[in-house]
């Protein structure tokens, strides 16, 4: 099992990620216990989900504490357990550290992130930072919550803030806002989409792709002929992030009318 994945990614940046995946899966299988990874970036989630689907493994969940989380963990559970039983126990895995800033302060995401990193906490040990009107909610592992909460109180930037630990079910949900746009393409190739979304020629679109400025589902993509799929997330550096929402129809000339959701 996983031989193809080992071979495919042996000389890539994902080599260690695949090794950790296998270790977690084998632990769950041999010990018959729930196990989970650190927090993963979207590009890592995409790679691991692809491998798990290829291996036809079903006893897993990706979850980051809320719907559409940017950072998730991979949870393996024994096959005898029902998926819903795992979902009911998210509170044992996740907590929320809530930072309420004084009314005269307004920090950006980067300022919350740098504060945590200053404490020596590795990025894979905590999940999304949700910036709110009052401050921020930080999704963390339950076992880290108490220590991180106390350490944050010691930072100068948060000394006048109220910092508490909340249940994951009470995390603040901020739904992303989108702008719906339509494009017409001759095929579902990446270069066609980039040309329309970046409003440039096909030649320029090919250059943008070759320069490493395009990401599909958070994975850097250099192949201009790559065929896209509905729900793919396309990021073009300097131009924005887009979701391939649907194919609305095929025109009389054989082209495709595509609905795109652009993140605001």
Q: Please say whether the structural domain 3-88 has been given the CATH code 3.30.1370.
A: yes
Prediction pTM value = 0.84
For every residue of 46-108, DSSP letters joined together read: HHHHHHHHHTT--SEEEE-SSTT-SSBEEEE--TTS-HHHHHTTHHHHEEEEEEE--TT----
Segment 38-68, tens digit of pLDDT: 999 988 998 999 999 999 999 999 999 998 8
Segment 112-147, tens digit of pLDDT: 999 999 999 999 999 999 999 999 999 999 999 999
Under CATH, domain 178-263 is a member of which superfamily? RNA-binding S4 domain (3.10.290.10)
Below-70 pLDDT ranges, the chain: none
pLDDT of residue 175: 86
Strands 256-263 and 178-185: antiparallel
Domain edges within the chain:
3-88, 92-170, 178-263
pLDDT of residue 85: 84
User: What CATH number was assigned to the domain covering residues 92-170?
Assistant: 3.30.70.260
């Amino acid at each position: 099992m996983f031989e193809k994945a080992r071979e495919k990614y042996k000389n890539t940046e994902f080599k260690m990620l695949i090794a950790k995946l296998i270790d977690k899966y084998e632990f769950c299988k041999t010990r018959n216990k729930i196990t989970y990874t650190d927090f993963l970036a979207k590009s890592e989630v995409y790679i691991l989900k692809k491998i798990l689907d290829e291996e036809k493994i079903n006893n897993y969940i990706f979850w980051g504490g809320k719907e559409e989380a940017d950072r998730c963990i991979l949870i393996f559970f024994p096959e005898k357990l029902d998926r819903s039983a795992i979902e009911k126990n998210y509170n044992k895995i996740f907590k929320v550290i809530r930072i309420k800033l004084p009314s005269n302060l307004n920090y950006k995401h980067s300022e919350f992130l740098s504060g945590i990193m200053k404490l020596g906490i590795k990025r894979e040990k905590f999940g999304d930072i949700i910036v709110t009107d009052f401050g921020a909610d930080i999704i963390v592992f339950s076992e880290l919550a108490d220590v991180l909460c106390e350490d944050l109180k010691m930072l100068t930037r948060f000394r006048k803030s109220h910092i508490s630990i909340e249940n994951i079910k009470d995390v603040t949900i901020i739904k992303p806002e989108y702008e719906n746009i339509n494009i017409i393409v001759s095929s579902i190739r990446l270069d066609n989409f980039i040309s329309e979304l970046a409003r440039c020629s096909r030649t320029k679109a090919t250059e943008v792709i070759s320069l490493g400025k395009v990401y599909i589902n958070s994975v850097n993509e250099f192949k201009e002929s790559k065929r896209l799929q509905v729900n793919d997330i396309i990021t073009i550096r300097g131009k924005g992030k887009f979701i391939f929402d649907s194919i609305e129809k095929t025109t009389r000339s054989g082209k495709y009318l595509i609905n795109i959701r652009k993140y605001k």
